[in-house]
């Protein structure tokens, strides 16, 4: 009896252990076994062997030979308690489901019992039959919504097991790492997240450390993702970010190790992507600081995958915890949908949400000193802090001193039970006027909260001349400590 195991290798159609090993050797490695040519007497040589072969060929049955199934490469979570995100992994050799599925079913039935149905991603296979007859039993096959990179194996009464499906062309080391991760007890990573962590770079490209000569290409990548209202990133700002600081607001960088910045170069040496990441000294968390790849799927996948492998041993990972130059440490989720989706598929979840609004210069309304507000000097970021006098539950605003003609307001909304519309209008007017007085040609407003949840402040922002540009999100990923590193 096999153990409830980790690795199951079953040969379809071969019931004896020895026959299975011989067939596996022949089919996997191309090594013919002495008994694999039925009718040829072992030891026959020369004319005798040729006569035997001729007799066999003259009586050859013209019907096509039956499909010879190779062993299923499947790895199950050892406890089979289904407490993790996945119950194991399967690495088929092709996209021919008629050839691959019977061997998988036979391998799993020794551990799970009779399989009644499988559900899978229809687009991942060359041909999907409605059912297959395996060892005299019907196994129903159907599509599975949201089944990217997975297959659901169902026993009676809708009792199912979810397996990662590793693409057939995947390299051996990458597939091995992915199978071990998917079958690890307590794994919390999704199928796509596992493949992204283990996947190698885009063919024809190479990840390498940033060089000074990469500066023009990296600046162009950053510019391609710049939101309206964000200042252009200049060489001095980029160099500060590479060194792990900021001339405008160095405080958030103080607790970080010096960043590692890597570029993705194509076969002609052209830089097509860049990513910067580091560790936070206080808690050891890994931080993906900033990433740019023109929203090309393969490029962004490679950059994220590289970062996950580099930071994979940390207990927690954060993404988009910094911005190059003057900006919020978050991802513009609407303007950069590819990056957002790839992070989500890798297991990241949104933590902090901000609305990004812009106000082009126009004469602000007069905003005299409001007796209900305190204006306090701020050092991080440099500017001013506007708060309600003797009311810690009211809204607050931080006005960041203008840089290059752009000022920034950080709006922290009040608890709904403490909203004071008149006070908030006065606070917004005073913040805009303050930035205008110090040379702001336009103002960026970061307002905390999800734009999907309509808030009273939204109408107030519009009345003040602000236009909503994007929804900004920062991300976090709890990482299960692995006994073995990703390959």
Beta strands in 380-433 (DSSP E): 382-388, 396-403, 406-412
Q: Which domains does the chain have, with CATH numbers?
A: 7-54+66-198 (no CATH), 218-351 (3.40.630.30), 363-464 (3.40.630.30)
> Does pLDDT of 58 surpass 50?
no
Q: Which residue has the tokens 């299960």?
A: 480
Give the tokens for residue 18: 């020895």
pLDDT band at 419 (very low <50, low <70, confident <90, very high): confident
Cβ 367 vs Cβ 432: under 8 Å: yes
- Write the burial class of residue 5 (CB in 10 Å: 0-12 exposed, 13-18 middle, 19+ buried): middle
404 versus 62: the higher-pLDDT residue is 404
> Does pLDDT of 7 surpass 60?
no
> Does pLDDT of 451 surpass 50?
yes
> Does pLDDT of 220 surpass 90?
yes
73 versus 17: the higher-pLDDT residue is 73
Degrees to nearest 5, angle at CA 374 with 368 and 380: 115
Specify the pLDDT at position 115. 92
> Does pLDDT of 30 surpass 70?
no
3-state secondary structure (DSSP) of residue 34:
coil
Q: How many residues does the chain have?
A: 487
pLDDT band at 176 (very low <50, low <70, confident <90, very high): confident
260 versus 38: the higher-pLDDT residue is 260
Sheet containing strand 117-120, edge to edge, reads: 7-8, 74-76, 88-90, 160-165, 150-154, 117-120, 137-143, 131-134
Specify the pLDDT at position 363. 59
> Does pLDDT of 38 surpass 80?
no
Mean pLDDT comparison of 97-101, 113-117, 214-218, 230-234, highest-scoring range = 214-218
pLDDT tens, residue by residue, 88-104? 999 999 999 999 999 99
User: What phi, psi does 213 have (nearest 5°)?
Assistant: -70, -10
Specify the pLDDT at position 362. 63
Q: Tell me the β-bridge partners of 131.
A: 140
Specify the pLDDT at position 39. 40
Handedness of CA 424, 429, 435, 437 (dihedral sign): negative
How far is the CA of 10 from the CAs of 7, 13, 20, 110, 194, in angstroms? 10, 9, 8, 9, 25
Specify the pLDDT at position 255. 85
Degrees to nearest 5, angle at CA 128 with 123 and 132: 150
Average per-residue pLDDT for the chain? 79
Q: For residue 381, say if its preceding peptide bond is cis, omega within 30 degrees of 0.
A: yes
Q: Quick one: what percent of the chain has pLDDT higher than 90? A: 30
By mean pLDDT, which of 67-71, 76-80, 199-203 is the weakest?
199-203
Distance between CA atoms of 195 and 191, rounded to whole angstroms? 6
In the chain the first and final C-alpha atoms are separated, in Å, by 32
pLDDT band at 20 (very low <50, low <70, confident <90, very high): very low
pLDDT tens, residue by residue, 114-149? 999 999 988 889 888 998 998 888 999 998 876 678
Which DSSP string corresponds to 165-225? E--TT--HHHHHHHHHHHTSTT----HHHHHHHH--PPTT-EEEE--GGGHHHHHHHHHHT
Q: Quick one: what percent of the chain has pLDDT higher than 70? A: 76
User: What phi, psi does 319 have (nearest 5°)?
Assistant: -120, 140
213 versus 143: the higher-pLDDT residue is 213
Nearest to 365 by CA among 410, 458, 432, 420: 432
Specify the pLDDT at position 178. 87
Give me the mean pLDDT over the 285-300 stretch.
Answer: 91
Specify the pLDDT at position 40. 38
Specify the pLDDT at position 484. 40
Specify the pLDDT at position 100. 92
Specify the pLDDT at position 91. 94
Full-prediction pTM beyond 0.95? no
pLDDT band at 76 (very low <50, low <70, confident <90, very high): very high
Cβ 65 vs Cβ 170: under 8 Å: no
pLDDT band at 340 (very low <50, low <70, confident <90, very high): very high
Give me the mean pLDDT over the 316-328 stretch.
Answer: 70
DSSP annotation of 261: E
pLDDT band at 161 (very low <50, low <70, confident <90, very high): very high
């Amino acid at each position: 009896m096999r153990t409830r195991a980790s690795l199951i290798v079953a040969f379809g159609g071969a019931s004896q252990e020895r026959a299975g090993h011989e067939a596996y050797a022949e089919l996997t490695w191309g090594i013919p076994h002495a008994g694999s040519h039925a009718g040829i007497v072992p030891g026959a040589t020369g004319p005798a062997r040729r006569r035997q072969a001729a007799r066999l060929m003259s009586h050859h049955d013209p019907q096509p030979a039956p499909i010879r199934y190779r062993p299923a490469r499947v790895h199950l979570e050892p406890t089979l308690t289904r407490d993790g995100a996945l119950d194991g992994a399967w690495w088929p050799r092709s996209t021919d489901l008629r050839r691959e599925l019977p061997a998988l079913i036979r391998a799993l039935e020794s551990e799970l019992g009779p399989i009644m149905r499988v559900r899978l991603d229809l687009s991942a296979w060359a041909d999907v039959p409605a059912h297959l007859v395996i060892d005299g039993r019907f196994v129903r096959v159907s599509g599975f919504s949201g089944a990217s990179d997975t297959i659901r194996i169902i026993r009676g009464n809708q009792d199912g097991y979810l397996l990662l499906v590793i693409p057939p062309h995947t390299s051996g080391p990458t597939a091995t790492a992915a199978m071990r991760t998917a079958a690890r007890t307590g794994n919390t990573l999704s199928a796509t997240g596992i493949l992204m962590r283990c996947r190698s770079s885009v063919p024809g490209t190479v990840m390498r450390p940033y060089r000074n000569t990469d500066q023009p290409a990296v600046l162009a990548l950053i510019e391609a993702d710049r939101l309206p209202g964000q200042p252009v990133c200049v060489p001095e700002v980029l160099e500060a970010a590479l060194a792990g600081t900021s001339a405008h607001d160095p405080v958030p960088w103080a607790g970080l190790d010096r960043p590692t910045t890597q570029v993705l170069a194509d076969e002609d040496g052209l830089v097509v992507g860049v990513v910067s990441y580091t560790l936070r000294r206080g808690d050891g968390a890994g931080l993906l600081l900033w990433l740019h790849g023109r929203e090309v799927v393969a490029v962004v996948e490679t950059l994220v995958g590289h970062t996950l492998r580099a930071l994979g041993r940390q207990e927690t990972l954060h993404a988009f915890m910094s911005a190059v130059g003057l900006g919020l440490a978050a991802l513009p989720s609407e303007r950069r949908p590819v990056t957002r989706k790839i992070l989500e598929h890798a297991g990241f979840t949104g933590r902090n949400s901000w609305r990004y609004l812009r106000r082009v210069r126009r004469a602000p309304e007069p905003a005299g000193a409001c007796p209900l507000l305190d204006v306090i000097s701020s050092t991080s970021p440099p500017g001013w802090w506007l708060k309600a006098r003797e009311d810690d539950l009211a809204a607050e605003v931080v006005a960041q001193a203008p840089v290059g003609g752009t000022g920034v307001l950080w709006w922290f909304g009040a608890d709904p039970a403490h909203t004071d519309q008149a006070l908030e209008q006065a606070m917004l007017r005073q913040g805009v006027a303050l930035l205008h007085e110090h040379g702001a040609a336009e103002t960026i407003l970061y307002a905390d909260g999800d734009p999907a949840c309509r808030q009273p402040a939204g109408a107030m922002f519009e009345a003040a001349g602000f236009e909503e540009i994007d929804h900004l999100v920062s991300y976090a990923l709890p990482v299960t400590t692995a006994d073995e590193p990703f390959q």
